[in-house]
Amino acid sequence: MYPDLSYFFHDLLGTSPDNGLSILKTFGVFLILAFLASAYVLNLELKRKEKEGLLSSSVEKEKIGFPATWQEMATNALFGFILGFKLPYIFQHFQEFRPDPASVILSGKGTWLWGLIAAVGFGYYKYWDSKKRALDKPLLKEIKVMPHDRIGDITILAAISGIIGARLFSIIESEANIKAFIQDPLDQLLSGSGLAIYGGLIVAFIAVYMYVKRKGMKPIHVMDAVAPSLIVGYGVGRMGCQFSGDGDWGIVNHSATPDWWFFPDWAWSYTYPHNVLNDGVPIDGCTWDYCRQLAEGVYPTPLYEVFFSLVIFGILWAMRKRFKIAGMLFFLYVLLNGVERFFIEKIRTNPDISLFGMEATQAEYVAGLLIITGIVGMGYLVYRNRHAT
């Protein structure tokens, strides 16, 4: 396992682990790659739909030669404050920062003096720069913006809202997390650990849907374009879970490797040595920061989800031009994603939640709703299309 990139380069080049590269956590790197992969696929699909005439440009006004507003200066000042507040503290306490960057970044630890100095500097620079560029007669220039030109905004919005949603859903994932939140809400909200993927998908979908609608794009066509990109991002994200050993593994697998199994044995049962949680028993002779592995082999469920994500992506990619009813591809994605997650939960370790007399994990409840939503959505679209012709 590679809890951070120092362990990856140890295997690749033989360098010592737990060095400066350890601030780059493997899961975080794959999370970034997941958003980039999603953005790439979404860009391809938006351009295709633009060529087919399903999505068109919108007109926006660009300000040229206007002085900076107080909101712009305040935003710059806030950004400067965060940099000044955090960076000097990180340099001075690097050994505290190195093993768990999120615990420092998301905490109240920092240097107030440098934060205030940087805030004033960044705020003033915005004022000075806009004044230098100001025109005697500022103007508003109309520009055409194509849907694929908004990929950057959509990706950033999805990333921020997705992480917030994943953190919020992780809090209600178990009774223990709920109790911990009641005892210390701020600590739980700002904690760098624990993300529920479905919470991220749901909140990001709502945020992006509202953005798309506000920008005049047809949501139903964007939803179809988003479907393949979502499953690609999901698969890449699960690679991060597998390579870092972040606890998304399955239950203990006592079964012997079957004769028909042609994959490596570790794909059947794995102990996740050097996992990022430092969970399990000590590894003999290891003196690094991450020196534990599970006492018994478990199902490497993130690996299975990577495989099924590729299968679902292949199906969606093959069907994306064949469906003639807008929205069908998106609801097919919802259905297949729900089916995949529902059955993978049967061999995962997530805690059960009692609801309406049923015992199931949070992911199973959500997956069940996705399956129903997918079936109902596809059925409704077919029904509406038949009665419209």
Alpha helices in the chain (DSSP H): 5-13, 26-51, 70-92, 94-97, 101-105, 112-133, 151-171, 175-183, 185-190, 197-214, 219-244, 301-319, 328-344, 362-388
Query: Could you tell me if 45 and 228 are in contact, meaning their C-beta atoms sit under 8 angstroms apart?
Result: yes
- Bridge-partner residues for 359, per DSSP? 354
Same domain (yes/no): 33, 80? no
Same domain (yes/no): 282, 358? yes
Query: Could you tell me if 159 and 200 are in contact, meaning their C-beta atoms sit under 8 angstroms apart?
Result: no
Domain end call among 90, 116, 143: 143
- Residue type, position 353, single letter: I
3-state secondary structure of 144: strand
Same domain (yes/no): 132, 153? no
Q: What is the pLDDT of residue 17?
A: 92
C-alpha span between 61 and 141 (Å, rounded): 5
DSSP character string of 354-381: EETTEEEEHHHHHHHHHHHHHHHHHHHH
Same domain (yes/no): 73, 221? no
Quick one: which of 34, 14, 37 has its CA closest to 244? 34
Averaged pLDDT in 10-residue chunks for the chain of 389 residues: 93 91 90 93 96 91 87 94 93 84 80 95 94 86 91 90 81 66 61 65 90 92 95 94 92 90 92 94 94 95 96 96 94 96 89 75 88 96 84
307 Cβ contact partners less than 8 Å away, ≥ 6 residues apart: none
Quick one: which of 10, 103, 90 has its CA closest to 289? 10
Q: What is the pLDDT of residue 102?
A: 74
Same domain (yes/no): 14, 126? no
CA of residue 207 relative to chain centroid, distance: 14
Same domain (yes/no): 281, 360? yes
Q: What is the pLDDT of residue 359?
A: 77
DSSP 147: G
Domain end call among 85, 113, 143: 143
Q: What are phi and psi of 67, to 5 degrees?
A: -70, 155
Q: What is the pLDDT of residue 174?
A: 61
Q: What range defines the domain where residue 349 resides?
A: 5-57+146-388
Domain end call among 143, 176, 211: 143
First to last CA, the chain: 56
Same domain (yes/no): 224, 310? yes
Same domain (yes/no): 164, 240? yes
Q: How many residues does the chain have?
A: 389
C-alpha span between 353 and 371 (Å, rounded): 19
- Bridge-partner residues for 61, per DSSP? 142
Q: What is the pLDDT of residue 357?
A: 74
Overall number of domains in the chain: 2
Same domain (yes/no): 253, 193? yes
Query: Could you tell me if 240 and 26 are in contact, meaning their C-beta atoms sit under 8 angstroms apart?
Result: yes
Residue 141, token pair as written in the block = 């220039």
Same domain (yes/no): 53, 67? no
C-alpha span between 222 and 337 (Å, rounded): 18
| CA atoms within a 13 Å half-sphere pointing along the CA-CB vector of 351 | 11
Residue 268, token pair as written in the block = 């059947």
Quick one: which of 267, 325, 324, 277 has its CA closest to 297? 267
Same domain (yes/no): 276, 338? yes
pTM to 2 decimals? Answer: 0.85
- Bridge-partner residues for 142, per DSSP? 61
C-alpha span between 221 and 215 (Å, rounded): 14
Same domain (yes/no): 84, 218? no
Query: CA angle, corner 49, sides to 214 and 386, nearest 5?
Result: 90
